[in-house]
Structure 1
Amino acid sequence: MPISKAQQISQTINSNWLFFKGDTAANEKVKWEKISLPHSFNTHDVMDDDPGYYRGKTWYKKTIYIPGSWSQKVIYLHFEGANQVATIFLNGKKVTQHTGGYNGFNVRLNDLLQFNPAGITVALAVQVDNSFDPDIPTLTADFTFFGGIYRDVRLNVYEKIHFRADDRAARSLYIATPAVTANSASVLIHGDIAGINAGSTPVSITHVLLDRDGKQIAKNEQLLKLKTGITPITAEFPQIANPKLWTPENPYLYRVVSTIRDGKTKKVLDELVNPLGFRWYQFTADKGFFLNGKPYKIWGTSRHQDNMLMGNALPDALHVKDLRLLKEMGANFLRVAHYPQDPAILEACDRLGLLACVEVPIVNTITESDAFYRNSKEMQVEMVRQNYNHPSVIMWTYMNEVLLKAPFKGQPKRQEVYYQNVVKLARSIDSLLQKEDPYRYTMLVFSSNYELFKRIGLLQVPQVVGWNLYNGWYTAGIEKFGEHIDRHHREFPQTPILITEYGADGDPRIRSLSPVRFDKSQEYETYFHKEYIKAIASRAYVSGGIAWNLADFNSETREEAMPHINNKGLLDIYRKPKDVYFFYQSYLLKQPFIRIGSRNWKLRSGTAESDQELSCRQQVEVYTNQQSEVTLSRNGRVIGTVSPTNGIAAFDVPFANGLNLLEAAVQSSGSTIKDAAEIDFLLLPMSLKSKTLPFSELNVSLGDNRYFIDENAHQVWLPEKEYQTGSWGYIGGEVYRIPNSSRHPYGSDKNILGTDYDPVYETQRTGIKEFRFDVPDGRYELSLHFAELISDQKREALVYNLDNKEARAEKQAERMFDVSVNGIKMIDQLGSGNYLVPETAYSTRLFLDVKDGKGIIVLFTPIKGETILNGIQLRKIY
């Protein structure tokens, strides 16, 4: 028989809100800003140069209309998410408060309103407070706690008899598949029906299982008499023959249509439609992960939910876009980290085919208080119940790197108590998760301190151990990654392992032909992932690898090359793929694939091989999943043909000045697949007085071995080099390095104020004597760039900087020096007493005429302390 549809009402009320940032009563006369939801009040202050961002009280208000026809209905306000404490007022009266910024919550309106046939208007006000609270997770983390009503708000309207809607804001109908094989499957349903003044009302409950085409596969029907209040229900499809299995490659979804009908009139009172996927899976300690009885390596990423200058306040389409990009990369898994995200995320995982885990936001530390424990457990229950009916979810996760920043340093006895309280909370959460959902795995996510986790017994708590490891990034020795997980497998041979984080920063503007650890280049990021993929793939006992992170994301406390942004994404913060994304495609995709790896390095520069050979050779990698030879051409001429190794064909490309069209081709099953990329190359003459390639412009980052790309200005900042006659370069000095840091190869990790060119100002040559340009006669513009990197400002070492966790301050530098150009003193006594303000960019432009073939000699004469130079630019005017 056809399924009758209930006339449910669920409408967003995102438009026409008023907003005020401040601690004031909602009815005071203040200047309100007109906004629409989703909305965050931290979209811009997290990106400015002032440390910190607004964490405090704000107000949202709007008028809602309740028609008279709803007077016999049950009405809920549903908030998908408000960070992090939301207090709800109706008509000036406080009605409820919700704690926690990442789960949904409901407000039942019926008992709060006086209905009339003409309808009523209601003044809704919401105080949202994202202040730090020691009793509310998350306490600290390497991401930004954006405040606001940043997800949808809905009015949901039900009949008086309905599937319960206030079970931690979940619809109380939970569907599990306790037993699945290739030949049969069982379905178990349990939940609650809410009946307002039901009093022995007879109802029929039907559950119909439909396949993808809408064909009825099974039906369960039962009659019962409701009692007033909550009536539990259960139902079962004990045996579904030959189920079509859900996999990431074929995410086959059934639907379960659950209906409540009046037992006498057959009127539909409520109806729910839930997705259902038949799959079975297992994490093993020796052979990794199995899906539907077959070995299945997990490959995916974690994801944060923010976009540039939007915070977390995204429309559903942008959430889904992220998952499409993840799927197009060839991934089969999403770690929803470090908190539950928009409902659209798991809906898309079900539909697109992405296995998933979701976690509660306990990160870095805990508070040893009953309120913290209570809030942690409540968030966990909300998370499970609101996300239960998603076949994509195979695991619930908790406590990310929870001992990364343990308190009570120097108090070993007190610290030991803290450790045991962490273990106690972990056991409590793990037990509660297994009670809430006995059909899915639990996972606790660890940082690198293996000895500590082993000693206190935390490694023994979860069903699956997740490792966040950054050997070769935060700590030296990329080979130690494999040693770490091999040790864990050797000492805990019964514990399944999943690599839940690994990654390296790749600033989209920074490139290197000789990448090194922590240079922030895309080339090192790609190298890092190549090595980790090899290590994970070669170990059968490792269930898989989850890269950190899908896209660059906001972390307000970060400084470094791109302040306030964590650049470990495979996509940049605007969702533009980096080189490493293309490498993953070549490794993971099944369909024929070829891509020029550094296709986004569209603006390059370098020096010609000679005044006769007007080209500059730089390496380009081509990624492919084909085994046959790859051919690369430039402007129609074949450069070479290379057999790929581990999916990579590397070429030395002779770039010419101007436009270079690269075309890569490989044979696949008798046909040719191709890719192309346009590279604009700014070729510099070997001899600056060259007649065949006249000099025009040069930009140099001192103390640097990288290329900094400024596409907006159409400029490439070259790595420094020592002076050679006829060319250009520095004389004297040393590369600046952070004192007592084993991590940074050169430069500083400070946010340089007053500039967006942080990578240029963070590197420096100290004690420089001269910089020379052997240019022809003419008029020139010379720009000099300085930044005092040594400061007595005390800076808290951020928790993720594993080589230095202590607060540190340096002795303020005292320096003074003159700068002369071609024998004329242009800058007198530059130093800490005037323009060299610590951690602040200072630049000046000088104009000069070069005569008599003398070129340009910039002389740095010390008066007190050492001379410095961060960047230098020269442009020929005529």
Structure 2
Amino acid sequence: MYKVLIFVLGLLVLNSCKNRTEGFQRTESSFNSDWAFTKDSTSLKWETVQIPHTPEIEPLVVNDQWQGDAWYKKTFERHPESKKSFLEFEGVMHEAWVWVNGHLLKHHQGGYLPFTVDMTDVLKIQNTLIVKVNNENNPHIPPGKPLEQLDFNYYGGIYRNVNLVETHSVYITDPVAANQVNSGGVLVHFDSVSKEKAMGLVKVHFRNESSEDKKISAKIVFKSPSGRTISKTTESAEVTSSTDRVLTTQIDIENPELWGIHSPKLYQVNVNLMEGETILDTKELTTGIRAIELNANGFFLNGENVFIQGTNRHQEYPYVGYAISDEANYRDAVKIKNAGFDFVRLSHYPQTEAFLDACDELGLLVMNCISGWQFFGGEEFQENAYQEIKDFARRDRHHPSIVFWENSLNESPMTEEFMMKANALLKAELPYEDTYSAGWIDHPSYDLYIPARQHAKAPTYWTDYEKNARKIFIAEYGDWEYYAQNAGFNQTAFENLSEDERTSRQGRGDGERRLLQQAFNFQEAFNSNLKGEHTIGHANWLMFDYNRGYADNIEHSGIRDIFRIPKFAYYFYKSQRSPAITYEAPLEAGPVVYIANYWTPTSPQAVRVFSNTDEVALYLNEKLIARQTPTRNAFSSALPHPPFEFKLSEFKAGTLKAVGYIDGEEVAIHEVKTPSEAQQIRLKVDTSGIGLSQKQDDIVFLHAEITDAEGTLVPGFEGEIKFSIESESAELIGQNPIKAEAGIASILLKTKTGSDVIMVVAKAEGLESEPLILRKKQK
């Protein structure tokens, strides 16, 4: 009997210890699968879809984008032990109504930032969720401008992730849902950063929705990139029932590992909300420690003066619009970094956190932007814009990649009152010396002036800016000044001023001369921008081609096309990065040499080679044409690495080979061969080093390259290619068959959870590819 009593007491002690260290633990799970969808809520037919989702698969050229109501429905079970249940919508375009079990719990306006729905009070064991989504023109919701006049498309649907969050009744809040100035959730900021020490603070905002008063503390653990652990516990605070509270503590880190462009070190931060020894809630985030400063001498990152080389990005994919996977967003970031850029402006709206996470991990600086383009609405519109400023500051404040906050409605006639209030709101949310606002109007309330190149006049543009009131970052260059000769903002009225051989809007299939002209336009503008005394950096317009919604063609000023295939201009930018910089895969850097020529009978005999080497030797059929240094002239005088220009006297079929040398040593080589007749199809999948997702639906580009018998691309091939697939866990999306452009045809492949094996083939008249076998990456 005594032994039995001891055993029972032992179990009670163990159970007591367990209860002291473990409360109900927060669970965060994907809510993306098994939704029902319809455009007609009265219909009995609902199709099964996965999130992210677009209500309409659009044509390749979108000039009459679908708009209207879309309905989503999902059934689910409540977790029996959770005290609080939330749904987090990362992005719904652009107005949403959310019902749970017949109760309207949320009406949200705004398509680019998240919102949270507290379902706790209406949940049963079995539950039905219904979401109505509308993306029709609405002058009250930024960007506000009617789609048929807007220079980009906003697509519909629940196009970003949905997450189910279940917590204890005492829980750490969501920073956006909390709607607290300079608070909400977990806030980490370092006010003083050097190589020797980083000093900052951590704020933890939580709610006590239990029926009891609580004495709460927070245990905060920083884990460095190298595995070093720094922990701190806040003082306990009494929190009465049904109230909220902030716990704040100072954090000092000796010899911090700093986040930078070439070495983006990241810290993992874990916060445990404690009642005594019991963990009530846990929240994790990733951040970086870096020092940024904008002063009279320029922009400084960790004490180093950096001239920022950047680009702009729209988050659109062909056919599916915005409904792309986290991995697809990451692949775009990889492509931007590999192009030689260290910066991206999120034109012209807040983009998904998955893309920001990629920028954090890859070392891309970011200009975060609110929604706006050439439209300034009334009072309700302005209030929604103010809320966007609050929300993007709260969502994104822990991303070390974000260095500028564009709280300005791009190219819109904002009032003095709006600009002053917008900047006051940002400074209230982020009241730190290293919070830098950016505006397209030269107004004293902004820390950084971000004109586009077309906002000035040729030939000097912004090189002669002398106000010296603030620094300049040229937010856009390379397109408009070569499109309509500074005709102004009215693109539709002046569209006929475009000259085919002059514009930067060149499709990948428009031929070598026009692709070379596009590359030259970017080069000329890039070179000019470097001469501005007060300019700290620039971003070209833009990285990827995109749809404009009102036009009968794709906007082709990207240095990669809408299928993410490079144009010649891509290699110009790639060559402007120092050859001394190297990265690990999936990133590419180091010495570059690229022949911007197909070497066919119709190709230019003035051969341009993009390279960051000291010298380039060009060979034709192994015979040396010339070995020379870069071509310095009025259009390349300030470039880090001017192109190399070679003049050949005649065309001879065969192989052009360029060899790059640094300090006399061969470091890079590139060859192009004269293609013969099309003989085969080579299939490729573009993962940019980011494997297919095992856990969620994913989306990637498939490219069918038409080659001759030796594997040389045939750029003149424009026949139709038909793709086909054998798999129950994948589908093809897009025009099929589709004409090849400059020898390459492309389509989207959407993968689903299920079988690991996917087989794709492509056919053209008289041609057929070998099967491409895709396997999802192993867990």
TM-score (norm 1): 0.66
Match of 1:566 in 2: 555
Q: Give runs of aligned pairs for residues 567-586 of structure 1, distance below 5 A.
A: 567-586=556-575
Tell me the distance in 1 between the aligned counterparts of 2:359 and 2:347: 14
Match of 1:667 in 2: 661
Q: Deviations over 1:772-792 (max 9, x none)?
A: xxxxxxxxxxxxxxxxxxxxx
Tell me the distance in 2 between the aligned counterparts of 1:310 and 1:363: 22
2:514 maps to 1:503: no
Match of 2:110 in 1: 100
Tell me the distance in 2 between the aligned counterparts of 1:496 and 1:69: 55
Alignment: residue pair count: 618
Match of 2:29 in 1: 11
Matched residue SS, 2:355: helix
Tell me the distance in 1 between the aligned counterparts of 2:604 and 2:282: 66
**C-alpha deviation, 1:99, in angstroms:** 0.4
Q: Give runs of aligned pairs for residues 264-283 of structure 1, distance below 5 A.
A: 266-283=277-294
2:522 maps to 1:537: no
Alpha-carbon spacing, 1:13–1:218, altered in 2? closer, same or farther (3 Å): closer
Match of 2:128 in 1: 123
Q: Give runs of aligned pairs for residues 844-863 of structure 1, distance below 5 A.
A: none
**C-alpha deviation, 1:524, in angstroms:** 1.9
Aligned with residue 635 of structure 1, among 621, 631, 638: 621
Matched residue SS, 2:461: helix
Tell me the distance in 2 between the aligned counterparts of 1:251 and 1:391: 9
Aligned with residue 32 of structure 1, among 46, 55, 64: 46
Match of 1:393 in 2: 402
Alpha-carbon spacing, 1:30–1:635, altered in 2? closer, same or farther (3 Å): farther
Identity %: 25
Asked if the contact 2:52/2:324 (under 8 Å) is kept, the reply is yes
Tell me the distance in 2 between the aligned counterparts of 1:68 and 1:217: 35
Q: Deviations over 1:434-456 (max 9, x none)?
A: 1111224444443xxxxxx6xxx
Tell me the distance in 1 between the aligned counterparts of 2:166 and 2:567: 45
2:355 maps to 1:345: yes
**C-alpha deviation, 1:108, in angstroms:** 0.7
Tell me the distance in 2 between the aligned counterparts of 1:273 and 1:67: 21
**C-alpha deviation, 1:21, in angstroms:** 2.2
Asked if the contact 2:660/2:669 (under 8 Å) is kept, the reply is no
Matched residue SS, 1:350: helix
Asked if the contact 2:114/2:176 (under 8 Å) is kept, the reply is no
Asked if the contact 1:220/1:235 (under 8 Å) is kept, the reply is no
Q: Which amino acid aligns with 1:485?
A: W
Q: Deviations over 1:67-113 (max 9, x none)?
A: 4333xx21111111000001112223322111000001111111112
**C-alpha deviation, 1:661, in angstroms:** 2.8
**C-alpha deviation, 1:656, in angstroms:** 5.6
**C-alpha deviation, 1:289, in angstroms:** 1.1
Q: Which amino acid aligns with 1:77?
A: L
**C-alpha deviation, 1:484, in angstroms:** 3.4
Tell me the distance in 1 between the aligned counterparts of 2:469 and 2:651: 58
**C-alpha deviation, 1:466, in angstroms:** 0.3
Deviating runs (4+, > 6 A) in structure 1? 3-6, 755-759
Alpha-carbon spacing, 1:4–1:343, altered in 2? closer, same or farther (3 Å): farther
Matched residue SS, 2:613: coil
What's the Cα RMSD here?
A: 2.9
Q: Deviations over 1:624-658 (max 9, x none)?
A: 1121x211223333332222234311223577676
Tell me the distance in 2 between the aligned counterparts of 1:187 and 1:548: 37
Tell me the distance in 2 between the aligned counterparts of 1:714 and 1:57: 35
Tell me the distance in 1 between the aligned counterparts of 2:415 and 2:431: 23
Aligned with residue 643 of structure 2, among 641, 644, 648: 648
2:112 maps to 1:137: no
Matched residue SS, 1:470: helix
2:471 maps to 1:493: no
Alpha-carbon spacing, 1:112–1:650, altered in 2? closer, same or farther (3 Å): same
Q: Deviations over 1:244-269 (max 9, x none)?
A: 32211111222222111221xx2322
Asked if the contact 2:369/2:405 (under 8 Å) is kept, the reply is yes
**C-alpha deviation, 1:594, in angstroms:** 2.4
Alpha-carbon spacing, 1:181–1:617, altered in 2? closer, same or farther (3 Å): closer
Alpha-carbon spacing, 1:124–1:238, altered in 2? closer, same or farther (3 Å): closer
Alpha-carbon spacing, 1:714–1:377, altered in 2? closer, same or farther (3 Å): closer
Tell me the distance in 2 between the aligned counterparts of 1:5 and 1:277: 30
Matched residue SS, 1:675: strand
Tell me the distance in 2 between the aligned counterparts of 1:84 and 1:5: 38
Alpha-carbon spacing, 1:121–1:46, altered in 2? closer, same or farther (3 Å): farther
Higher relative contact order by CA 8 Å / sep ≥ 6: 1 or 2? Answer: 2
Match of 1:689 in 2: none
Match of 2:74 in 1: 62
Asked if the contact 2:23/2:280 (under 8 Å) is kept, the reply is no
Match of 2:612 in 1: 625
Q: Deviations over 1:291-331 (max 9, x none)?
A: 22221111111111111112100011110011111112232
Asked if the contact 2:449/2:471 (under 8 Å) is kept, the reply is yes
Aligned with residue 326 of structure 1, among 326, 336, 360: 336
Match of 1:176 in 2: 189
Matched residue SS, 2:408: strand
Q: Give runs of aligned pairs for residues 141-540 of structure 1, distance below 5 A.
A: 141-165=150-174, 167-168=176-177, 172-197=185-210, 199-237=212-250, 239-263=252-276, 266-285=277-296, 287-368=297-378, 370-403=379-412, 422-439=415-432, 440-446=434-440, 459-470=443-454, 479-480=458-459, 483-487=460-464, 489-490=465-466, 492-504=467-479, 505-513=505-513, 521-540=514-533
Asked if the contact 2:595/2:670 (under 8 Å) is kept, the reply is no
Asked if the contact 2:200/2:250 (under 8 Å) is kept, the reply is yes
Matched residue SS, 2:646: strand
Alpha-carbon spacing, 1:574–1:46, altered in 2? closer, same or farther (3 Å): closer
**Structure 1 residue runs without a partner (length 5+):** 115-119, 404-418, 447-452, 514-520, 607-615, 684-707, 716-754, 760-878
Tell me the distance in 1 between the aligned counterparts of 2:528 and 2:209: 59
Q: Deviations over 1:227-246 (max 9, x none)?
A: 22343324333543332322
Tell me the distance in 1 between the aligned counterparts of 2:79 and 2:173: 23
**C-alpha deviation, 1:497, in angstroms:** 0.8
Alpha-carbon spacing, 1:91–1:657, altered in 2? closer, same or farther (3 Å): farther
Alpha-carbon spacing, 1:195–1:654, altered in 2? closer, same or farther (3 Å): farther
Range that drifts further, 633-642 or 538-547: 633-642
Tell me the distance in 1 between the aligned counterparts of 2:386 and 2:437: 15
Tell me the distance in 1 between the aligned counterparts of 2:159 and 2:579: 37
**C-alpha deviation, 1:758, in angstroms:** 13
Alpha-carbon spacing, 1:89–1:525, altered in 2? closer, same or farther (3 Å): same
Matched residue SS, 1:240: strand
Match of 1:713 in 2: 719
Q: Which amino acid aligns with 1:93?
A: H
Tell me the distance in 2 between the aligned counterparts of 1:617 and 1:59: 54
Tell me the distance in 2 between the aligned counterparts of 1:134 and 1:127: 19
Tell me the distance in 1 between the aligned counterparts of 2:67 and 2:268: 43
Q: Give runs of aligned pairs for residues 763-778 of structure 1, distance below 5 A.
A: none
Tell me the distance in 2 between the aligned counterparts of 1:460 and 1:224: 42
2:524 maps to 1:548: no
Alpha-carbon spacing, 1:524–1:175, altered in 2? closer, same or farther (3 Å): same
Asked if the contact 1:551/1:572 (under 8 Å) is kept, the reply is yes
Q: Deviations over 1:408-448 (max 9, x none)?
A: xxxxxxxxxxx5x62221211111111111224444443xx
Tell me the distance in 2 between the aligned counterparts of 1:672 and 1:6: 62
Alpha-carbon spacing, 1:678–1:209, altered in 2? closer, same or farther (3 Å): same
Tell me the distance in 2 between the aligned counterparts of 1:169 and 1:315: 27
Match of 1:676 in 2: 670
Alpha-carbon spacing, 1:597–1:102, altered in 2? closer, same or farther (3 Å): farther
